[in-house]
């Protein structure tokens, strides 16, 4: 799991749907009381921004006319934890995905 935290306008629809799923997975893990220490240590999540990013993803996918969102994010304790290197993630997405790279260049 990972939260890219890259501007949703610069992420392809496939990766955005993955981010949406992973936001739900992180919340589920937190609500079950399971440790996310490794994700925090490796800069893969910002707990306090999961909801904000989830909502931005949903808004962007809906603006593309590609999604009817029907899975609200459950409540969870939105602690200030974790720090993601957004610029490094942006570059990694561009390296991995031609569609994301093209959106970033636009």
Please check the confidence at residue 67 and state whether its pLDDT lies above 90. Answer: no
Spatial CA neighbour of 80 closest among 60, 42, 51? 51
Which residue, among 2, 79, 83, 23, has the nearest Cα to 48 in the 3D structure? 79
Among 2, 6, 1, smallest CA distance to 89 is for 6
| 17 contacts 62 by C-beta, under 8 angstroms | no
pLDDT at 68: 85
User: What distance in Å separates the CA atoms of residue 36 and residue 32, rounded to the nearest whole number?
Assistant: 11
Domain ranges of the chain: 8-105
Reported confidence tier of residue 69, pLDDT bands at 50, 70, 90: confident
pLDDT score recorded for residue 63:
94
The pLDDT, as a whole number, for residue 83 is 97
**Stretch 16-42: mean pLDDT:** 97
This prediction's pTM:
0.93
Quote the pLDDT of residue 84. 97
Task: Extract long-range pairs of 69-73: CB within 8 Å, 24+ residues apart.
Answer: 71/20, 71/24, 73/23, 73/24, 73/27
């Amino acid at each position: 799991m990972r939260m890219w935290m890259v501007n949703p306008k610069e992420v392809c629809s496939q990766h955005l749907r993955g981010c949406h799923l992973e936001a739900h997975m992180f919340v589920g893990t937190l609500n079950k009381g399971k440790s996310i220490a490794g994700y925090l240590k490796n800069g893969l999540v910002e707990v306090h921004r999961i909801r904000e990013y989830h909502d931005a993803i949903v808004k962007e996918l809906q603006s593309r006319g590609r999604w009817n969102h029907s899975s609200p994010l459950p409540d969870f304790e939105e602690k200030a934890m974790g720090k993601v290197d957004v610029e490094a993630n942006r570059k990694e997405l561009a390296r991995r995905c031609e569609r994301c790279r093209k959106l970033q260049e636009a």
